[in-house]
Amino acid sequence: MSLVNVNVGVLGHVDSGKTTLCKTMSTVGSTAAFDSNPQSKERGITLDLGFSSFVLADKWNITLVDCPGHASLIRTVIGGAQIMDLMLLILDINKGFQIQAAECLILAQITCSHLVVVLNKVDVIPEEQRKAKVGEPDCVCAYIFL
């Protein structure tokens, strides 16, 4: 049985947890995955697209396209958007909606028909404060602690 490949772009503001989320979800990483570039390690930021993957329900090969979050690297993100079937917009719940997240939202609106907003770093909010901080969702919402 062959798997259907789905390319999922992981976008958001710098330090929203994109690469960490990709690393946690993935079972296979390319040589460019998880900021393996020496310059990325030195600067502590994603400089280029990273590719990693995992298989879902023995039906889909999910390829995560980890995108840089710095505004100066938006051209790299635009290049990667051409292959994305779905985008995950990662928001740091503690910092809220930031500038590069807005740029990614516009990019998603132009290039992709499917967008999922992920509230990341919910686990650092004390449990008794989470409902007040996150609010009551109008849709199905799940907190994922990896």
- pLDDT attached to residue 61: 96
The chain-wide mean pLDDT, for the chain, equals 82
**In order of start, what are the domains of the chain with their CATH numbers?**
4-134 (3.40.50.300)
When pLDDT is averaged across residues 27-47 and rounded to a whole number, the result is: 70
* Burial state string for 121-138 with b = 16 or more CB within 10 A and e = fewer than 16: bbeebeeeeeeeeeeeee
pLDDT at 43: 64
- pLDDT at position 127 over 70: yes
Distance CA 56, CA 81 (A): 22
Model pTM?
0.80
70 counts as catalytic: yes
Residues ≥6 apart with Cβ < 8 Å to 24: 146
**Residue 41 known to be catalytic:** no
Task: Confirm whether 24 is a catalytic residue.
Answer: no
Given the residues 70, 85, 111, 121, the one annotated as active site: 70
Q: How do residues 38-86 score in pLDDT, each as one tens digit?
A: 666 676 666 678 899 999 999 999 999 998 877 767 787 788 888 899 9
Residue 22 has pLDDT above 80, yes or no: yes
DSSP assignment of 63-97: EEEE---SGGGHHHHHHHHTT-SEEEEEEETTT-S
Q: Which residues contact 2 (CB under 8 A, 6 or more apart)?
A: none
Per-residue tokens: 7: 């390319």
